[in-house]
Amino acid sequence: MRGEPDGVRTGPASQQGMRRANLALVLGVIARGPRSRAEVAAATGLTRAAVSSLAEQLISAGLVVEEGPAAPSGKVGRPGTALGLNPLGPGGLGAEIGVRHLGVCVVDLRGGVRAWRRRESANHGREPAAVMADLARLVGEAVAESGLRPAGLTLAVPGLVGGSGLLQRAANLGWQDVPLAAELRPALRLLGDGPGGGGLAALPVEVDNEANLGGLAERWLGEGPEDFLYVSAEAGVGAAVVVGGRLLRGARGYAGELGHVPVHPEGRRCACGAHGCLEQYAGEAAVLRAAGLAGLPGDWVTLLAERAGAGDEPARAALAGAGAALGIAAAGAVNLLDPAEVVLGGGYARLAPWLLPAMRRELAARVTVRPWAEERLTVSRLGRRGPLLGAAVGVVRAIVADPGPLAGG
């Protein structure tokens, strides 16, 4: 008997792998909009019998529902039944730790927001376990409100994230080498069987930088181009580089640390230990100090926007200075990467009216080796919601990309 060729497997394992791939293929087509079984077959190249079998498996798993008659195709005969993503199926759970807030979002398979929680919380210098306990309670509230069963959780944080959910450094939180995924599980376990608590400790947990998730949300939900630089701010300054529609992470996952690009090399000392970093001229503390608003209570973005909108000259001058620093840093990135756009997100989105003029002047003066048009500097419509939306929607996209674990494939 002739053996199998090297590298070719035709037994049950390869058949299971093929079925898992076909489940993803079918669900990916349905995710683009309701389709009849015949339309799914035409789009995938699978037989109608295969599509019907796969669809039943996805329906049984709660991922797909029959929505009623499909749109007329112009062909003879009754239209088939349209298949769509199940809005009551597994959901995506996103959570966020900011320097001054905690957030949680639950979205359904169609990307609809089913629960949103944001709570002010002074997290700088607090013990991670205490922050995780507060975050877990917020997670429980949001999951209970959503009525959905999350399939995973992604946590957005303002810092450098390594493998296995390790937050290697978050200067604005005062944290270093914190295993966030491991820290969160005991807090979720303490929710027990209360509202939103059942089974959350067993969820897969991913951790990522908040700017990365904001940039991905811009691509997925903001109809951004395939190549752009996303720049955002909360307490610090972050960025994400998207190339070919995918996040550019770099060799160790640290790409996008625009806040620590020097804009004045002999300038102010930064918390990172270097001098003249962008964050020292365009971050929260720097802009509030320049505006004469340091130490005032409340959200810094709201405070600056209200003062600048009312004509407060120190606030406007501080934002113009921040815009100039941002323009210098962005110009270097544009000359290096040639993105189609530079997108302002996070807190910068609301402050854009006072940041953009100086940014445009610096970009026009410094991007000289190639044409630069001011319309390539844009503002995110997601604003400060981007990182949390990116965290939750990323879980849903992972389900669609590989429904096998949930569908028994």
Strands 237-243 and 228-233: antiparallel
Any idea what the Cα angle at residue 114 is, between residues 386 and 404, rounded to 5°? 85
- State both tokens at 101: 């807030």
What is the model's pLDDT at position 253? 85
Instruction: Give, as one character, the DSSP assignment of residue 214.
Output: H
Instruction: Give, as one character, the DSSP assignment of residue 376.
Output: G
Q: Are 111 and 393 in contact (CB under 8 A)?
A: yes
SS3 208: strand
- 145 backbone dihedrals φ, ψ, rounded to 5°: -65, -40
Q: Are 351 and 183 in contact (CB under 8 A)?
A: no
C-alpha span between 311 and 391 (Å, rounded)? 36
C-alpha span between 45 and 40 (Å, rounded)? 8
What is the model's pLDDT at position 372? 86
C-alpha span between 50 and 64 (Å, rounded)? 16
What is the model's pLDDT at position 165? 85
Q: Are 409 and 20 in contact (CB under 8 A)?
A: yes
C-alpha span between 184 and 65 (Å, rounded)? 33
C-alpha span between 35 and 238 (Å, rounded)? 40
Burial of 62 (0-12, 13-18, 19+ CB in 10 A): middle
Q: Which helix (H) or strand (E) holds 377?
A: strand 377-379
Any idea what the Cα angle at residue 331 is, between residues 221 and 227, rounded to 5°? 30
Q: Could you tell me the sign of the dihedral formed by the alpha carbons of 240, 142, 399, 133, in that order?
A: positive
C-alpha span between 338 and 288 (Å, rounded)? 32
Burial of 112 (0-12, 13-18, 19+ CB in 10 A): exposed
Q: Which pTM was predicted?
A: 0.91
- State both tokens at 323: 């815009």
Q: Are 330 and 229 in contact (CB under 8 A)?
A: yes
Q: How many CA atoms lie within 13 A of 26 on its CB side?
A: 32
How many Å is the maximal CA-CA distance in the chain?
A: 87
> pLDDT by residue for the chain (409 residues), tens digit each?
334 344 444 455 678 889 999 999 999 999 999 999 999 999 999 999 999 999 999 999 999 999 877 665 555 455 678 999 999 999 999 999 999 999 999 999 999 999 999 999 999 999 999 999 999 999 999 999 999 999 999 999 999 998 788 999 998 899 999 999 999 999 999 886 555 556 898 999 999 999 999 999 999 997 778 999 999 998 889 999 999 999 999 988 889 999 999 999 999 998 888 999 999 999 999 999 999 999 888 899 999 999 999 999 999 999 999 999 999 999 999 999 999 999 999 999 999 999 999 999 999 999 988 788 889 999 999 999 999 999 999 999 999 999 999 988 7
What type of residue is 338?
D
What is the model's pLDDT at position 192? 67
DSSP one-letter string for 11-62: SHHHHHHHHHHHHHHHHHHHHTS-EEHHHHHHHH---HHHHHHHHHHHHHTT
Q: Which helix (H) or strand (E) holds 145?
A: helix 128-146
Q: Are 280 and 267 in contact (CB under 8 A)?
A: yes
C-alpha span between 142 and 161 (Å, rounded)? 25
